[in-house]
Chains A and B, each alone.
Chain A
Amino acid sequence: MAAHVEKKSLFTLNKDIPAYPFIILGLILLAIGGIAVLQVLLKGHEAVYGVTREVPWGLLIATYAYFVITSTGLAFIGGLGHAFGYEKYAKMSRRIVVMAFVILLAGFTQIGMEIGHPIRLMIYLILSPNLRAPIVWMGVFYSIELVILAIELYMVFNPDKVSHSASAVVGFFALLVGTVATSNLGYVFGSLNARPFYHGIYFSTFLVISGITAGAAMLMLIHNIVYKGRIPSDLEDSMTALGKLMGLGIGLMIFLYFWKIMSSLYTEPKGAYEAVLAMLKGPLSVNFWIGEVGLAVVLPLLIIVFTKARNMKALGFAGFIYMIGLFFTRFDFIVAGQLPPMRAGYEGSGVHTTISGLAHYSPSAGEWMIFALGWGVFLFLYFAAEKYLNLETEHH
């Protein structure tokens, strides 16, 4: 039962929210992405993308993971609010659900442009699905997640038509399916016989935790943008709670990172060892130390600890640099596992390796343009929602 004192209509024009610059930026990125989409349609994937026989999965898979995992992290936080009564998060539920939905769509643009035959995928996932293949379950879980988020969207914008218990149940399923989807994404990689770096339970766990952390980071960042750094006092507790959640998430990430790296160095498992070395001191080391460790771990954690998660602007900044750093985390995760080649690059082998004996990958301009497409979708849709919808959650 929801009782409202003064109910604002769903559609408004929010003059105070600085959305236009982001909407315009989103449109520019959409245009850039659109050009790449045309190129791919005209010339084919192979001509436009930089992925190779040795490294078949590149930037688009990394960006896909970045977006969809952040979406499930948001759904998780939303679920904590709805299903488990964490009122501090429930106060933000409209923004959470809209953002989770839009980020998921942004992720779908990446996988849609990565897969050679996306339409065929939908047909044969129904006609002849291989139930042993983790990708099938990835399709199933993320589709369910999209539907649940759509239901949640309806619910958060029509609170008077929805009972508390109904939104609790839906919130719980958003949390559950999101967690299953993300951990299954870890399994998509873990199931690759040839790539020992991905094997085991590590990535399934790490992706879920870093995703929830990303959800908190996005919320802190976006609230700071929307309120121009002056967070309303009734949201301050929520922001602090998010900051603490993020600090906890980063703490767990350190724990997981540390043991993953130690165990890969200790016994030198073939494939996994070379992948970890590629991050620690090989071609991915700048990404790793500056992006993953500096921006996604050390700096945001220091900010949160030293401000005790009470300085709102600092939280927004921590969220911002975390999201930049996390991109490197996702990219390195995808690429590192594929750098140890399956065959040595001897003469005649057909395998291209660098002097260090690793395969090489750097994204092409076309791949960066599709990356821009994903951001375009997110910025345009999300800030249009901020501008034209009422995203302030009404108090129950």
Chain B
Amino acid sequence: MSKKRYAIVLDTKKCLNCKACTVACKFENGVPVGDETYRIWVTALPLQGEYPNLHQEYQPSQCQHCENTPCASVCPTHATYKTEEGVVLVDYDKCILCKACMTACPYDARFVSEHHKAVEKCTMCYHRLGEGREPACVETCPTKVRVFGDLNDPNSKVSKLLASRGFYQLKPDRNTRPRLFYLK
């Protein structure tokens, strides 16, 4: 029995900027409304090309569930930890709100949650995974930008996509080895 290694593969060319994923995330996880309180986001990248041949890409993103995890390294109480499937989680009861993890994360993926009185971020909807369900953002995306699965299973959709298409990751210079892959 091989251990699972979860990842999300994103085909951003398909993204409509409909923001259904961000709404689904808020709804699923009870993320408070607010300017700074969001787990996932969809950035409109700058326009490219010359008029009239302009095009724009959108870049949905979130916690990268880094394999080398700068947020967990600096967390003094082990409140931030990695599950054996590689999902990075926060134990709200252990978080002392020192915010070291926020200053250490190169993706600005974390925020202070008034509700939990702790630092919060994307969990890959960890509560769903045990039931074999996908993260809410993946489930809801109308154009299937987001694909979720197990990297250790060569037959999973994520493994196949990564084997068949070129991909890149965000900020490779930070050496965090993200579990989010962007298809080229």
> Are A and B genuine complex partners?
yes
On whether A57 and B103 interact (CB within 8 A), knowing A46-B112, A124-B77, the answer reads yes
Which 3 residue pairs of A and B lie closest in terms of their CB atoms, listed nearest first? Answer: A116-B97, A193-B70, A124-B77
- Inter-subunit contact A133/B70 (CB<8 Å): no
- Inter-subunit contact B96/A116 (CB<8 Å): yes
Beyond the given pairs A125-B76, A193-B105, A352-B35, 10 more chain A to chain B contacts, judged by CB atoms under 8 angstroms and listed by A's residue number, are A45-B97, A46-B112, A46-B114, A56-B102, A57-B99, A120-B95, A194-B103, A346-B44, A346-B45, A348-B17
- Inter-subunit contact A351/B108 (CB<8 Å): yes
Chain B interfacial positions (CB closer than 8 Å to A): 17, 19, 35-36, 38, 41-46, 58, 61, 70, 72-79, 94-100, 102-108, 110-112, 114, 117-118, 173-176
On whether A194 and B70 interact (CB within 8 A), knowing A44-B114, A130-B75, A348-B42, the answer reads yes
- Inter-subunit contact B96/A192 (CB<8 Å): no
Question: CB-CB < 8 A to B104: which residues of A?
Answer: 191-195
Question: Once bound together, how far apart are the Cα atoms of A118 and B43, in whole Å?
Answer: 36
Chain A interfacial positions (CB closer than 8 Å to B): 44-46, 51-54, 56-57, 114-118, 120-121, 124-125, 128-130, 132-136, 139, 188, 191-195, 270, 338, 341-344, 346-352
Question: CB-CB < 8 A to B108: which residues of A?
Answer: 53-54, 341-343, 351
Question: Once bound together, how far apart are the Cα atoms of A128 and B75, in whole Å?
Answer: 11
Question: Once bound together, how far apart are the Cα atoms of A351 and B105, in whole Å?
Answer: 14
- B48 smallest CB distance to A (angstroms): 13
Question: Once bound together, how far apart are the Cα atoms of A128 and B95, in whole Å?
Answer: 11
Question: Once bound together, how far apart are the Cα atoms of A384 and B161, in whole Å?
Answer: 71
On whether A350 and B36 interact (CB within 8 A), knowing A53-B108, A128-B78, A133-B75, the answer reads yes
Shortest Cβ distance from B170 into A: residue? A343
Q: Which of B42, B46, B96 contacts A120 (CB 8 A)?
A: B96
Shortest Cβ distance from A61 into B: residue? B99
Question: CB-CB < 8 A to B41: which residues of A?
Answer: 348-350
Question: Once bound together, how far apart are the Cα atoms of A51 and B99, in whole Å?
Answer: 11
- A36 smallest CB distance to B (angstroms): 17
- Inter-subunit contact A129/B77 (CB<8 Å): yes
- Inter-subunit contact B95/A192 (CB<8 Å): no
Question: CB-CB < 8 A to A342: which residues of B?
Answer: 105-108
Question: CB-CB < 8 A to B78: which residues of A?
Answer: 124, 128-130
Question: Once bound together, how far apart are the Cα atoms of A192 and B176, in whole Å?
Answer: 12
Question: Once bound together, how far apart are the Cα atoms of A163 and B78, in whole Å?
Answer: 44
Question: CB-CB < 8 A to A130: which residues of B?
Answer: 72-73, 75-78
Shortest Cβ distance from B73 into A: residue? A132
On whether A117 and B95 interact (CB within 8 A), knowing A128-B78, A346-B44, A350-B36, the answer reads yes
- Inter-subunit contact A133/B44 (CB<8 Å): no
**What are 7 A-to-B residue pairs whose CB atoms are below 8 Å?**
A130-B75, A134-B74, A192-B100, A193-B106, A338-B103, A346-B44, A348-B42
Shortest Cβ distance from A337 into B: residue? B103
- Inter-subunit contact B176/A193 (CB<8 Å): yes
- Inter-subunit contact A117/B103 (CB<8 Å): no
- Inter-subunit contact A133/B103 (CB<8 Å): no
- Inter-subunit contact A348/B58 (CB<8 Å): yes
On whether A118 and B103 interact (CB within 8 A), knowing A130-B78, A193-B174, A349-B41, the answer reads no
- Inter-subunit contact A118/B112 (CB<8 Å): no
- A17 smallest CB distance to B (angstroms): 39
On whether A118 and B106 interact (CB within 8 A), knowing A130-B77, A136-B76, A346-B44, the answer reads no
Question: CB-CB < 8 A to B95: which residues of A?
Answer: 116-117, 120
On whether A135 and B42 interact (CB within 8 A), knowing A46-B114, A130-B76, A130-B78, the answer reads no
- Inter-subunit contact B70/A52 (CB<8 Å): no
- A186 smallest CB distance to B (angstroms): 14
Question: CB-CB < 8 A to A192: which residues of B?
Answer: 70, 74, 100, 103-104
Shortest Cβ distance from A192 into B: residue? B104
Question: Once bound together, how far apart are the Cα atoms of A193 and B103, in whole Å?
Answer: 8
- Inter-subunit contact A347/B43 (CB<8 Å): yes
Q: Which of B76, B105, B112 contacts A194 (CB 8 A)?
A: B105
- Inter-subunit contact A139/B70 (CB<8 Å): no
- A47 smallest CB distance to B (angstroms): 8
- Inter-subunit contact B174/A125 (CB<8 Å): no
Question: Once bound together, how far apart are the Cα atoms of A338 and B114, in whole Å?
Answer: 22
Question: CB-CB < 8 A to B103: which residues of A?
Answer: 56-57, 192, 194-195, 338
- Inter-subunit contact B73/A124 (CB<8 Å): no
Question: CB-CB < 8 A to A51: which residues of B?
Answer: 99
Question: Once bound together, how far apart are the Cα atoms of A56 and B58, in whole Å?
Answer: 27
Question: CB-CB < 8 A to A129: which residues of B?
Answer: 76-78
- B173 smallest CB distance to A (angstroms): 8
Shortest Cβ distance from B102 into A: residue? A56
